[in-house]
């Protein structure tokens, strides 16, 4: 239930993320997860938009599509420097963007919360049948 709901709630345009959501049961524990490294960034947001307020504050930064966390620029730019860097990178055929962060788009937590009562009823039923 939670896996199906999380897939439905994953942001539009995030097909890879949606397809990566899976679940398994281990030792009477249900686990819904995605192995994608960027899933928490979608769920909780990044930069100045991060839910916990602990996101990157030195903004803007330049992001190159397809880069990993490790290869993303940690350099802080002025507005003009960021725009120039994006223009340069795009001239080299890369998909580059100036960023202040990504707003959170929760999909896992709402999937769990909306199914919480059903899950509790299933557990109750199993316990009473034992």
Residues with Cβ within 8 Å of 117's Cβ and at least 6 positions away in sequence, in order, are none
Render pLDDT for 66-95 as a digit per residue (tens, 0 to 9): 775 544 566 778 999 999 999 999 999 999
Provide the pLDDT for residue 66.
Answer: 77
CA distances from 8 to 16, 20, 70, 104, 113 (A): 13, 12, 30, 16, 14
Provide the pLDDT for residue 74.
Answer: 67
Provide the pLDDT for residue 70.
Answer: 45
Render pLDDT for 1-20 as a digit per residue (tens, 0 to 9): 999 999 999 999 899 999 99
Render pLDDT for 37-56 as a digit per residue (tens, 0 to 9): 999 999 999 999 999 888 88
pLDDT at 120 over 60: yes
Residues with Cβ within 8 Å of 111's Cβ and at least 6 positions away in sequence, in order, are 2, 3, 5, 6, 8, 9, 32
Provide the pLDDT for residue 92.
Answer: 94
Its pTM stands at: 0.79
d(CA 31, CA 60): 36
Provide the pLDDT for residue 112.
Answer: 96
Provide the pLDDT for residue 21.
Answer: 98
Q: Could you give the angle at which helices 108-129 and 2-9 cross, rounded to 10 degrees?
A: 170
């Amino acid at each position: 239930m939670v896996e199906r709901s999380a897939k439905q709630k994953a942001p539009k345009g995030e097909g890879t993320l949606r397809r990566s959501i899976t679940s398994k049961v281990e030792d009477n524990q249900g686990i819904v997860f995605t192995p994608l490294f960027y899933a928490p960034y979608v769920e909780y947001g990044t930069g100045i938009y991060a839910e916990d307020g602990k996101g990157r504050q030195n903004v803007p930064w330049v992001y190159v599509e397809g880069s990993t966390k490790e290869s993303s620029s940690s350099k802080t730019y002025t507005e003009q420097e960021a725009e120039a860097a994006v223009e340069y990178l795009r001239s080299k055929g890369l998909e580059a963007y100036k960023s202040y962060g990504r707003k959170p788009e929760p999909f896992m937590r709402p999937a769990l919360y909306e199914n919480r009562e059903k899950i509790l009823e299933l557990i109750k039923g199993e316990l009473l049948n034992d």
